[in-house]
Amino acid sequence: MPPSIAQRLDKIKDLPPMPNTLQKVLEEMDSIASSAKRLEVIVRQDPVLATKILKVANSPAYGMSGQVQTISHAVVVLGFEEVRNLVIGISLTQAFGQNADLKEFPAREMWLHCIGVATVSMEIATLLGDMEPEECFTMGLIHDIGRFLMCSFFPEDLKRILKLQEERQIPLYMAEEEYGFSHTEAGAYIATKWNLNERMISAVRYHHRPRSAGPEEKACAVVFLADQLCHKLGIGWSSNWLADKIKLPKALGLKGPQVQAIAKKIRDKKKHLEEGWSKALGG
Ligand SMILES: [Fe+2]
Ligand SMILES: [Fe+2]
């Protein structure tokens, strides 16, 4: 029997550890919600992150070029939530760096995809009213984390999967399943290693098949829908095989026009989103 995904990942000695800053922000998510000061302290302890936050705050999108010199000013300019999202996003991208960079999966485009899915997941959660928008942001951000692992550590498998996809004309995640090495399982492996909570792990494992997610079906359905919308709207990386119709998961109880309204909102802020995050990603 071929080794399982977990067995293959077990053999890798230099898997990225949970980024320190990300851990702090996630651990203190609840208390941070009421403490911009605590967030500032966390950011200041991470100079690379602090520099990037200032770069975003000074980008033309916010009309403040060069005037923002401190993190507390950046929080005023960008807003607490946006800074927190940037902190989570930047610290996660730092964990993988640019070594996960295959021709078919340019790292920057992949991160923009994840950031897009995070942002759309947050919008969907806000509309639903009974999901935590910040938590949905983080779920969206990490949903494809397994792809970065595959690009970094298993590029040859990934090439064979792409070939299989080409031959069979099926979505990439199905080609992975058929091949026996999926980004969802690889991602769930690292999310578990990082001690993320069950909901986060489920979002990684089931974002292509939310109906298999049991008690976390709704959370996974949020990411599932956000993922499709980002592909449709062309935010960041997209597979060369796309379904032409958006599948609206029943678990969300949303109607078509509500989804169209979210799509419009995201389309309107697409440029802003891409510009701001390109700065954060080091551009
Ligand atoms: Fe995915
Ligand atoms: Fe995705």
pLDDT single digits (tens) 72-104 = 999 988 888 889 889 999 888 888 866 656 788
CA of 54 to the centre of ligand 1 (A): 31
Rounded to the nearest whole angstrom, what is the distance from the C-alpha of residue 82 to the centroid of ligand 2? 21
For residue 129, count other CB atoms closer than 10 A to its CB: 7
Task: Give tens-digit pLDDT for 160-170.
Answer: 999 999 999 99
pLDDT in tens, 44-57: 999 889 999 999 88
Query: Both tokens of residue 197?
Result: 């909570």
CB 22 within 8 A of CB 32: no
- Using the mean position of ligand 1's atoms as its centre, give its distance from the Cα of residue 222 in Å: 13
Q: Within 10 A of 38 (CB to CB), how many other CB atoms are there?
A: 15
- For residue 33, pLDDT over 80 is answered with no
Give the Å distance between the CA of 46 and the centre of ligand 1: 29
Q: Locate 104 and state its tokens.
A: 């078919």
Distance 62 CA to ligand 1 centre (A): 31
How far apart are the CA of 207 and the centre of ligand 2, in A?
A: 8
- Please give the distance, rounded to the nearest whole angstrom, from the Cα atom of residue 114 to the centre of ligand 2: 6
pLDDT at 107: 86
Q: Which ligand is nearest to the CA of 228?
A: 2
* Nearest ligand to residue 173 Cα: 1
Which of the two residues, 60 and 212, has the higher pLDDT score?
Answer: 212
Ligand nearest to the CA of 236: 2
Q: Look at residue 29 and tell me whether its pLDDT is greater than 80.
A: no
Domains of the chain listed by start with CATH number: 12-96 (no CATH), 100-283 (1.10.3210.10)
Span 181-192, mean pLDDT?
96
Q: What is the pLDDT of residue 97?
A: 65
Distance between CA atoms of 156 and 153, rounded to whole angstroms? 9
Two tokens, residue 238: 């997209």
| Global confidence as pTM | 0.92
When mean pLDDT is compared across 28-32, 171-175, 259-263, the lowest value belongs to: 28-32
Q: Write out the residues surrounding ion ligand 1, Cβ under 5 A.
A: 144
